[in-house]
Amino acid sequence: MSFASVLEYWSADRVRERISLSSERDVERALSKEELTETDVCALLSEAARPWLEAMAQLAHRRTRRFFGRTIGLYAPLYISNICGADCVYCGYAVRSGSKLKRLTLTEAEIRRECEALAARGFQHVLLLTGEAPRAVPVSYIEKAVSLAREYFASVSIEVYALDEDEYRRLVYAGLDGVTLYMETYDRETYARVHLKGRKRDYAYRLDAIERAGKAGVRRLSIGALLGLYDWRIDGFWAMLHARYLQKACWQSAISMSFPRLIHTPPRFRVVNPLSDRDLVQLMLAARLFLPEVGFNLSTRERASLRDRLIPLGVTMMSAGSSTRPGGYSTHGEETLEQFEIEDTRSPAEVAEAIRKAGYDPVWKDFDAAFVDDQVGWVGSCVEGSTDDENHS
């Protein structure tokens, strides 16, 4: 069974109804369980759960500690290109964003300089990012960038346009460890409304991309919905279902989720479904209780004070000292176009200190590079059809 058929069963109407019919008794029942059903998580996402956020937070804290201990991994995004042929209306890189700032793709020498700058700050885990420009930034370029980055870092992930399975496999051979790919929104109509140009318009191709990465042997798979595009409760619920589906379908990969919230957007786009800090906290807590073994990533999109408060509630990875423009760490300063403005502008050392203050250990490197090398040649981890009907309970 594909994830598309899981989504078909959990239609927006069905999810909305379950959430709106949830009572405080349903919330209490959900909180008394070790393993939550889809109906339980609907209760935790509902208005009825609002008075229970403190209890949810305590439980989420205990469950995260049980599965992840007292560690928070640190990573840095590294933008290697800001050229994009797609037109996603919420994004600063969109081909029709109207920005006149410089667009470029880093040379090999520039990628090395960026890697050196990040390695000097202590990072051992890097996320390479591009726009959607398969001609200007082909898979061969990403492959080269991955192998260059592997000379500096124990773990290299990518957040690029959706690829075929063979292309992901090629990157695994080059040393790729992780793929981050947000569906942005799982709601088809909204998806079509905000993605106006490029391959990204193909909803089905994007929806299955992360599973293709798992089949190709990518060890870390990270997903999320771009919060603010659609009803956060429903998109958040679908993202959780996706994570649970991947846990079964790609059982040899580690699954993680992000909760990116649209805050700074280009002038032409207004966030129609904004969510408050409280909404974000409720969503993360519900997700933690539904998915205790899934890692949670928290980026510098959120402000420092909120990030610090979220640390004990389920976060397992944080970015720090981020730049969202190519060459932002070493070569091109402020001259290139950035994807979005970050909120937490603290240095990596300051973020590490905040993690320590919260009683956690910041971890720059969470596994040995040799382990990744052992994975090269390992064939895909996804078991087709392994997701059973439990998802439809």
**Binding flags for ligand SF4, 142-181, as an x/- string (CB under 6 A):** ----------------------------------------
Q: Looking at 26, 132, 177, 302, which residue binds ligand SF4 (CB under 6 A)? A: 132
- 187 lies in the binding site for ligand SF4 (CB under 6 A): no
Beta carbon nearer to ligand SF4, 104 or 294:
104
Residue 151 Cβ vs ligand SF4, minimum distance, rounded to whole Å: 26
Residue 91 Cβ vs ligand SF4, minimum distance, rounded to whole Å: 3
Residue 317 Cβ vs ligand SF4, minimum distance, rounded to whole Å: 21
Amino acid found at 9:
Y
Beta carbon nearer to ligand SF4, 131 or 362:
131
Residue 84 Cβ vs ligand SF4, minimum distance, rounded to whole Å: 3
Beta carbon nearer to ligand SF4, 93 or 152:
93
Tokens of 94: 């969109």
Strands (E), 320-381: 361-363
Residue 97 Cβ vs ligand SF4, minimum distance, rounded to whole Å: 7
Site for ligand SF4 in 91-120 (CB under 6 A): 91, 93-94
Beta carbon nearer to ligand SF4, 200 or 215:
200
Inter-axis angle of helices 232-249 and 38-45, nearest 10: 150
User: CB-based burial of residue 306 (10 Å sphere; 0-12 exposed, 13-18 middle, 19+ buried)?
Assistant: middle
Site for ligand SF4 in 4-43 (CB under 6 A): none
Residue 110 Cβ vs ligand SF4, minimum distance, rounded to whole Å: 19
Residue 100 Cβ vs ligand SF4, minimum distance, rounded to whole Å: 16
Backbone angles phi, psi at 162, to 5 degrees: -65, 140
Beta carbon nearer to ligand SF4, 40 or 167:
167
Residue 333 per-residue DSSP state:
T
Contacts 24+ apart (CB under 8 A), 84-87: 84/131, 84/132, 84/133, 84/198, 85/131, 85/132, 85/133, 85/135, 85/197, 85/198, 86/131, 86/132, 86/161, 86/195, 86/197, 86/198, 86/199, 86/200, 86/201, 87/195, 87/196, 87/197, 87/198
CA-CA distance, 193 to 11, in Å (whole number)?
Answer: 19
- 131 lies in the binding site for ligand SF4 (CB under 6 A): yes
Going from the C-alpha of 111 to that of each of 83, 105, 127, 130, 209, the distances in angstroms are 16, 9, 12, 13, 26
Residue 186 Cβ vs ligand SF4, minimum distance, rounded to whole Å: 16
CA 373 from centroid of its chain's CA atoms: 24
**Binding flags for ligand SF4, 56-95, as an x/- string (CB under 6 A):** ----------------------------x-x-x--x-xx-
Under a CB-based contact definition with an 8 Å cutoff, are residues 78 and 71 in contact?
A: no
CA-CA distance, 225 to 217, in Å (whole number)?
Answer: 23
Residue 81 Cβ vs ligand SF4, minimum distance, rounded to whole Å: 9
Beta carbon nearer to ligand SF4, 67 or 205:
205
**Binding flags for ligand SF4, 190-209, as an x/- string (CB under 6 A):** ----------x---------
Token match 């063979």: residue? 166
Backbone angles phi, psi at 133, to 5 degrees: -145, 70
Token match 């700058």: residue? 117
Q: How many residues sit in the footprint of ligand SF4 (CB under 6 A)?
A: 9
H helices of 46-152, in order, are 53-68, 108-120, 139-150
Residue ranges that bind ligand SF4, judged by CB under 6 A: 84, 86, 88, 91, 93-94, 131-132, 200
